[in-house]
Structures are given as structure tokens and as C-alpha cells.
Amino acid sequence: MEHIAACQTAVTVAVDRIDREPTAAELDAIECEMPVILASVDLLDAQIITLDRIPSELDQRRIRRARRRVLAARRELANKDAAVGQTGGAA
């Protein structure tokens, strides 16, 4: 019988990484993505409401609006990232 204990160290998380706090850069990234996160939560809420029943017209409108908010928030984030990513150019 072969033991696989030696292979387990490669897939386990290092102990020093478990208790560390997020860096300032990670917190800034979360802050930038917060509108997308909140819009996604609203969409999930709208979808959860309709899980146990047939969606009414109001439910369908709520889901459509929530999807549009998610897409708008993603577009804003992508445009912000694209604007930050542009460097130099013909001045």
C-alpha cells in the first residue's frame, strides 16, 4: 500500500497565508468592483423571489432591470479599466 501524504503538501494552503489581512491593493480592487457586486446581488435577489412561483410581469420587469444594472456596472468597470490602462499616445 502506497501512502500519498507527500503529495498532499502541494495542494494544501500555506499556513502564513490563512491569517493574513487583505492588502491595500486588494481592498482597492474590491472597492472598484463593488457596484458590480451590489448589482449582481440585486439580480440574485430578483431571481430568488421567483424560484417557487411563476414569475409575474412585475417579477420579469424586476429581473430585466436588475440585469441591465449588472451590465451597466460591468460596462462602467470595463471602461474605467480601459481608461486607466491607456498609456501615452500622440499628444
CA distance 91 to 52: 58
Residue 91: its pLDDT value, please?
47
Residue 49: its pLDDT value, please?
94
Residue 61: its pLDDT value, please?
97
pTM score: 0.67
**Residue spans per domain, the chain:** 17-80
pLDDT digits (tens, 9 = 90+) for 33-90: 999 999 999 999 999 999 999 999 999 999 999 999 999 999 999 998 888 777 655 5
**Burial of residue 6 (number of CB atoms within 10 Å: 0-12, 13-18, 19+):** exposed
Residue 1: its pLDDT value, please?
57
Residue 82: its pLDDT value, please?
85
